Amino acid sequence: MSDQPVVLIAEELSPATLEELGPDFDVRHCDGADRASLLPALAEADALLVRSATAVDAEALAAAPRLKVVARAGVGLDNVDVRAATQSGVMVVNAPTSNIVSAAELAVALMLAAARHVSPAHAALRQGEWQRSRFTGTELFDKTVGIVGLGRIGVLVAHRLAAFGMRVIAYDPYVQAGRAAQLGVRLVDLATLLAESDFMSVHLPKTPETIGLIGDAELHAVRPHLVLVNAARGGIVDEQALYAALKEGRVGAAGLDVFAHEPCTDSPLFELDNVVATPHLGASTDEAQEKAGLAVARSVRLALSGELVPDAVNVQGGLIAEEVRPGIPLTEKLGRVFTALAGGVAQQVDVEVRGEITEHDVKVLELAALKGIFTDVVEEQVSYVNAPLLAAERGTAVRLVTQGEDPDHRNVIALRGTLSDGSRVSVSGTLVGIHQRERLVEVNGFDVDLEPTQHLAFFNYEDKPGMVGTVGGILGAAGVNIAGMQVSRDSKGGLALVALSVDSAIPAEVLLEIEDAIDAVSVRAADLD
């Protein structure tokens, strides 16, 4: 077994991908399309990199007990069972922006080719026919183009077609009119777009709601000279309805890169001179392939170093602000300390975030807290992916609470929970100084100031003289060195807390000895190594 994390590359990726991974990993290769090659190779894999030929299903995931991340060097995830990966605690990442420029440029190319009859004119010329009058086309200038789906690719297409002097309208129920106006696009409903468009380009994801969105009824509502382009996903445009509309002269021309069933080499649409078609080439540029490989290599590095990955598709939280990132490992430690203090699983946990960082999205801190809380509770690997599932399975309700200011700290993160017997547990931490040093600042209502090192212990007892010396004496006799100590109490003669950081784990029998010696109300140890 390798000492380095094993990265299994199951399909051909760009040389730049391997360079980006660097020397920190044991990079191995296999043929992902060959199950007899793939499944044994997965046994030691910490990360799996694929494109579209490798089926990452429940069987493959079961063969990979060490797997932490599956990275698909592309946009779609049709070949990855995301749900099964999530249940296995495996992060799934892709490269969502790697091909957007290539896809947008192909859509424009198809539009131009269809408008100017490039494909049939080229075929005629190859057959020795010079027929200029037969292939008279139409300009894009001063025409109206309707963009169906104003996402990242749709926006790029809109920008490029505006440069041709086109009027751009768009249909997208999830985009605000003000946002569209900033882009120089007039937002309309689908019926208006169908009625006004001279050209139309589809840029929607394939979902149950979008399949067949442009069907027979819609193609009866368009202008007869319409040039329709679909370089998004097959099935959004009903191919049978499109064929009928083209044959009957209700649609002028079409440019297609995608089809309902792929690979598609036999379609009645291919028989028509007013159709230009390509075999799903949207991402097929050297630049897009290299961007995809580089993006997933970076994501793998982040995932294997325990960080959250912005391109992870099955992790909540989204893009993480730089101001929030230092709080992630602290919050995970707070979760582990919380579990140690609780001695079990809480019914309710509030993740409270107070201070300046609440100006940013701090959802990731809720995930980090859950990951820490369950790391020492369950046998399986706990990740940012399956932590919410583990909480749900165990009946732990979690809530993220934010507040813009804290009276004592610039930023503070607190975990507060209720156990099944109604008792309460809490632990709080902050980051201090230029170097953002981690500190525990509160434990079960007691103020402390302690670095959360690998080995911690907490002793609650009635406040009376000699207790601290007793604890120190027992630990010294056991060969356990104290690195830091904090003593806090709720009132003179009331309950007191000793919080310790020590250089090695405290044996269970030593903890029992301390509990008896000081007549402790509670004794808890947290080992964070």
Is residue 14 situated within a structural domain?
Answer: yes
pLDDT at 318 over 70: no
Tens digits of residue pLDDT in 271-292: 999 999 999 999 899 999 899 9
**Mean pLDDT, range 130-138, rounded to an integer:** 93
Same domain, 334 and 253: no
Task: Provide the pLDDT for residue 26.
Answer: 94
* 246 is a domain residue: yes
Report yes or no on 210 lying in a domain.
Answer: yes
Domain CATH number, residue 85: 3.40.50.720
pLDDT for 151 equals 83
Domain count, the chain: 4
Asked if residue 407 and residue 384 are part of one domain, the reply reads yes
- Residue with tokens 């069933």, as numbered in its chain: 261
Asked if residues 363 and 319 have their Cβ atoms less than 8 Å apart, the reply is no
Residue 363 sits at the vertex; the CA angle it makes with 428 and 410, to the nearest 5 degrees, is 45
Residue 33 has pLDDT above 60, yes or no: yes
Predicted confidence band of residue 303 (pLDDT cuts 50, 70, 90): confident
pLDDT average, residue stretch 505-520: 93
Torsion over CA: 341, 345, 349, 355 (sign): positive
Return all residues near 372 (Cβ < 8 A) that are at least 6 apart: 331, 332, 333, 334, 335, 336, 337, 338, 339
Cβ-in-10-Å burial (0-12, 13-18, 19+) of 165 comes to: exposed
Residue whose structure tokens are 């030593």? 510
Of the candidates 244, 274, 228, 269, the residue with the CA atom closest to the CA atom of residue 134: 274
Q: Mean pLDDT of all residues in the chain?
A: 91
pLDDT at 346 over 70: yes
State phi, psi for 447 to the nearest 5 degrees: -75, 130
Alpha helices in 75-176 (DSSP H): 82-87, 100-115, 118-126, 152-162
Residues 447 and 458 in one domain: no
208 band by pLDDT with thresholds 50, 70 and 90: confident
Q: What is the pLDDT of residue 433?
A: 87
Shared domain for 294 and 323, answered yes or no, is no
Question: Of 402, 417, 452, which closes a domain?
Answer: 452
162 with 236, same domain: the answer is: yes
Confidence of residue 393 (pLDDT cuts 50, 70, 90): confident
Torsional sign, CA 369, 372, 376, 379: positive
Same domain? For 205 and 109 the reply is yes
Range 243-262 average pLDDT? 97
CATH of the domain at 404: 3.30.1330.90
pLDDT of residue 177: 80
State the residue range of the domain holding 409.
Answer: 316-452
Active-site pick, 280, 336, 439, 455? 280
Instruction: Assess whether 44 carries a catalytic annotation.
Output: no
Q: Is 490 exposed, middle or buried (0-12, 13-18, 19+ CB in 10 A)?
A: middle
Per the domain annotation, does 418 fall within a domain?
yes
- Is 159 an active-site residue? no
- Residue 506 pLDDT level (bands cut at 50, 70, 90): very high
Specify the residue for token string 């406040």: 463
Q: Is 29 a catalytic residue?
A: no
Same domain, yes or no, for 458 and 448?
Answer: no
Tell whether 311 is covered by a domain. Answer: no
Does residue 465 sit within a domain? yes
* Residue 270 shares a structural domain with residue 131: yes
- Examine the domain organization and report whether 440 and 336 are in the same domain: yes
| pLDDT the model gives residue 22 | 86
Ramachandran area for residue 5 (φ above 0: left; ψ -120 to 50: alpha; else beta):
beta
Q: How many CB atoms lie within 10 A of CB 151?
A: 16
Percentage of the chain exceeding pLDDT 70: 98
Structure tokens at 418: 């209720």
Amino acid code (one letter) for 199: F
246 & 376 share domain: no
Q: How far, in Å, CA of 186 to CA of 214, rounded?
A: 20
Report yes or no on 309 lying in a domain.
no
Instruction: Quote the pLDDT of residue 54.
Output: 95
Instruction: Report pLDDT for 376.
Output: 84
Q: Are residues 125 and 256 in the same domain?
A: yes
Q: Out of 19, 209, 262, 356, which one is annotated catalytic?
A: 262
Say if 205 falls within a structural domain.
yes
* 198/124 same-domain check: yes
Q: β-strand 47-50 against 6-9: which pairing, if any?
A: parallel
pLDDT at 353: 97
Which of the following is catalytic: 51, 72, 116, 233? 233
